[in-house]
Amino acid sequence: MSEQRPPLPPFMHETAVQKVRGAEDGWNSRNPERVSLAYTIDSYWRNRAEFVEGREAIVTFLTRKWNCELDYRLIKELWAFTDNRIAVRFAYEYHDDSGNWFRAYGNENWEFDENGLMQKRFACINDLPIKESERKFHWDRSGPRPADHPGLSDLGL
C-alpha cells in the first residue's frame, strides 16, 4: 500500500489551503525527517540554485539549512492551485550565528502525486537583511504559527 498524505488531489480551494498550512506547520517544526515524509521517495527540488533529489537528500539539505538559519519561522500563503499543483508565496525570518536577522521572500510551485505526496518543488527565494526590531513573526519557536497570528497579507507582506 502506498503512503498517503491527505488532502489528496485534485485540489479545491479548501483542500489547497489545508495543504499549504500543513506544509507550513511541518517546516516550522524544523524536523528534517518529519518534513521529508511529505515528499515522494524520489522527489525533485530546485531550491534557489541548488538541486535536491530524494528524501535522504531532503533531510541532508534541511539539516544544513536549519543549522544555519536559526530561530526560523515561516508563513506560507496559497497563491493559486489546479488539479495536482499548488503555487504559494511565503516569507520566513531567521538569524545567522552572528545574530544578523533576515527575512526571506519567495514563491514555490508544487506538484503532487495521486497520494498527496509532493513530487516536485521549485522555489525562488530572496533574502533581505532586517533589524531584530523589524521582525514580524513572533510565536513560540517550538511549534506552529498560532491560528490567531497574522498571515502574509495581514502583515502587508
pLDDT in tens, 19-70: 999 999 999 999 999 999 999 999 999 999 999 999 999 999 999 999 999 9
Q: CA angle, 139 as apex, 124 and 104 as ends, to 5°?
A: 15
Rounded to 10 degrees, the C-alpha dihedral 151/100/96/156 comes to: 10
- What is the average pLDDT score of the chain? 96
The per-residue pLDDT for 141 is 79
Banded pLDDT at 140 (limits 50, 70, 90): confident
The per-residue pLDDT for 143 is 83
The per-residue pLDDT for 16 is 98
Indicate if the pLDDT at residue 2 is higher than 90: no
Query: Does residue 79 or residue 142 have the better pLDDT?
Result: 79
The per-residue pLDDT for 124 is 97
CA distances from 8 to 34, 103, 116 (A): 19, 31, 4
The per-residue pLDDT for 75 is 98
Residues contacting 33, CB < 8 A, separation 6+: 59
Indicate if the pLDDT at residue 156 is higher than 80: yes
Question: Which segments within the chain are labelled E, that is strand?
Answer: 39-47, 50-53, 70-82, 85-95, 101-112, 118-130
What domains lie within the chain, and their CATH numbers?
A: 13-134 (3.10.450.50)
Task: Quote the percentage of the chain above a pLDDT of 70.
Answer: 99
Indicate if the pLDDT at residue 121 is higher than 70: yes
Indicate if the pLDDT at residue 1 is higher than 70: no
